[in-house]
Structures are given as structure tokens and as C-alpha cells.
Amino acid sequence: MAYDNAEQLEEFRLAARKWLEENCPPSMRTPMLDDEIVWGGRNATFKNPDSKVWLDRMGEKGWTAPEWPKEYGGGGLSRGEARVLEQEMRRIKARPPLFSFGLWMFGPALLEFGNYEQKLRFIPDIVKGKIRWCQGYSEPGAGSDLADLQTRCEDKGDHYLINGQKVWTSYADKADWIFCLVRTDTSVKHEGISFILFDMKSPGVEARPIQLISGESPFCETFFTDVKVPKDQLVGRLNGGWDIAKRLLQFERSSISAGGFGGTGGSGILGPEDYAKQHVGTDEAGRIADGDMRGRITDHKMYVKAFSLTVQRQAEQAKAGQAVGHTASILKYAAAKMNQDRHELLIESLGTEGLGWEGEGFDRGAKKATRQWLRSKGNSIEGGTSEINLNVVAKRVLGLKEHQ
């Protein structure tokens, strides 16, 4: 791998800055509105036409996936260059052009475990946001104990045949393709799982939305009845899917904590300190009048800062070749706590202003904070519960033993 020197990086910075200046539409440099988030896909919606322009330009350049190989449509940038690009995008407050499970978890796993044809076939569409992916992991009986999954996949000679049910499949009703864990051997547990891909339009696939406590329903129960899947859509070895599954979970946990859950950054939602100043009031010195609340808000803000410094430290140490094991679980646990604390504090700071559900009489940002407070309860469940992540830290990082 080529090492960056400072001069080259500076050159790259200027080029990136110039390109962004010329190619990032002005309306893509404003805080992201929720309904303008771009998920891509065959039926992609672009509420703001500029967001399509922005996605197309970034996708063409491979900069939606800056560090992926050029060969598959990625940006081919070094880690240092990717960081510079990120800084330059932040500098002009550019919106992320694409939200995508493909970018965050499936793509990185496929790059590691897929064969050449599979990478050529799937990766460029992920980069350009042409195909939207969903994750078929959880089942009604198998959540935390993921490897207990029952969805059956039989070898029918020239194809595989899939029968079973998944649950919690985020956006299954909007996704084009699914990456899915299936059971290909019922006589063993972990060694009987395979990792397979198929089109959600395949006959026999049905997704039914589930409503959450936040009123949203991005989740589905997903049913497979005699779904036929071509054999070249199996990733890795038959019965060798568990390693891929675990690796993908690491990517999922990292992307969840790096993006701070959905990563929309709370458009229209102020920080708890701002809401507290507005609704609790301030003392003569301009401080939040309720000392206890001010203290708890501060505690939270310190946690946030400590978290972001830790993300930075891990990145620097990784770059310096100092391995940091199972970081994903540590950060996932902390990020869930952080985001949930934030929303608790927001609601508390808002007081009765935080009790709105819909309609008039409540501020838009406040209503959104209420919904997100409820949504944040999922943070300690999705992508592996906090308990499961603590188990990982205890056993894999700290070396504590299993109960005998």
C-alpha cells in the first residue's frame, strides 16, 4: 500500500476541495431533513432533485465508498485521503449522499468473503446506490442467539430452495435485495449456516411492516415460501456462513456507533442544553437554572466528547498498527447508552413541550425529539443487544471464562 506523505495529502485536499466546490449543490450543504435522506435503490425517491445530482456525482467518483477498490467502482483512496475527504465534506457541511446497509455492512463483508464475479456484480451498484439491501438475520426464535436460526435452504441441484421466516428486517418492504442467513445443515448449529443473497422480487418473498412504539414502521416480518435462488448467489462456502455473519456484525456495530444511530444528526433538534435554556430558564449568570439538570446534561456532554475522542484514538492506533480488539462491541455499547441518555435529557429539558405526538401546537423539532426518544430505545437492542455486547467484551477482551 502506498504511504501518504504530507505533500501528497495536501495536493489531494486541494483537488477534493475544488471538486466538492464545483459538484456539491448548495442545497446539499444544509442540515439534512429526514424526508430528504437518500436510501437509493431501484425505486429510489428524491424529494429534493439536488440529492439525486449529488448521489450520481459522488457515486460516479466512487466517493460514497472512498476506500473501496477502484476496480469495483470505489474511490480507491488511502485511509489518509479518505480522512481528508471527510474533513473537506464536513468543512462545507455536505450531506452524506447515500444511506445504505450495502455501504455500511454488506459491502465490506462481500469485499472480504465474496468471489471475484460476485464483487464485480454487486459492489458497483452499492457504490452508486442503485440497489438497496436489507439484512435477513433475526428470526422469531433466534435473536441474540442468532445461530439458532431455522430458515431452511435446500440444495435442489441447479438451485437452492428457501423456506422460513425472518423478523425485524429493517426496510424489507423497500429493499431490492436481501443478504440472508439460512440453515443448510440441521445436524449442527454454527457450522450449518450459510450466507446467501437474493432478489426481494423473487416469487415467494413477502414482507409485512411492523409498527414500532415510535409510530414508525421501518421493520418487517419477512416470509419465504419456496423461494428459488441461483447457486452463484451463495457467498463463501456452503455451511461456512457463520464467519461472514460475525464479521458483518462487526461492521454493523462499527457503523452504528460511528454514525451515532442513523446518523441523521438530529435535524431541527437542538441539544438538551439549548432546550433546557429555553424551557427551564437561566439564572443571572446565564446558566441553566436547574442545577441538577445542568449537571446531568454536562455529564452527558462529557460522555459524548469522551466517546468521540475514543473513536479518534482507536482510528489513530489502528493506523499506527496497534491492534485494538473487539472495539466494535465497546463502542456499540457506549454509543447506545450515549444516544439514549441524550434523548432522555432532550425530553426532560423540553418538559410538557416534549409530549406532542402529531398535529398542531408543538414545535416540529420537539415532536421529532419525542419520536426519536422512543426510537432510541432500540439502540440497545439492534445490531446485538447491550447485554450481548457486554458478554463479548467480558469474554473476548477481558478473558473472563464461561460458566461451567
Ligand X SMILES: Cc1cc2nc3c(=O)[nH]c(=O)nc-3n(C[C@H](O)[C@H](O)[C@H](O)COP(=O)(O)OP(=O)(O)OC[C@H]3O[C@@H](n4cnc5c(N)ncnc54)[C@H](O)[C@@H]3O)c2cc1C
Question: Which residue in the set 154, 283, 299, 387 belongs to the binding site for ligand X (CB under 6 A)?
Answer: 387
Which residue in the list 36, 139, 252, 348 is annotated as catalytic? 252
User: Smaller CB distance to another protein: residue 233 or 339?
Assistant: 339
**224 interacts with ligand X by CB under 6 A:** no
Q: Cα–Cα distance between 57 and 129 in angstroms, integer?
A: 11
CB atoms within 10 A of CB 305: 10
User: Smaller CB distance to another protein: residue 103 or 334?
Assistant: 334
Q: Cα–Cα distance between 224 and 228 in angstroms, integer?
A: 10
Q: Where are the alpha helices (DSSP H) in 179-287?
A: 241-259, 272-279
**269 interacts with another protein by CB under 8 A:** no
CB atoms within 10 A of CB 180: 27
Backbone angles phi, psi at 165, to 5 degrees: -140, 140
- Cell triple for residue 404? 461451567
**346 interacts with another protein by CB under 8 A:** no
Question: Which residue in the set 137, 223, 251, 362 belongs to the binding site for ligand X (CB under 6 A)?
Answer: 137
402 an active-site residue? no
Residue 99: closest CA among 318, 259, 218: 259
**363-382 mask for ligand X (x: CB under 6 A)?**
---------------x--xx
Cα four-point dihedral sign 222, 227, 228, 231:
positive
**Cα dihedral 42→173→96→31 (10° resolution):** 120
Question: Which residue in the set 214, 385, 393, 397 belongs to the binding site for ligand X (CB under 6 A)?
Answer: 385
Active-site positions?
Answer: 252
Residues of this chain that interact with another protein (CB under 8 A) are 273-274, 276-277, 286-288, 294-295, 297-299, 301-303, 305-307, 309-310, 312-313, 316-317, 320, 322, 330, 333-334, 387, 390-391, 393-395, 397-404
Residues of this chain that interact with ligand X (CB under 6 A) are 135-138, 143-144, 168-170, 378, 381-382, 384-385, 387-388, 391
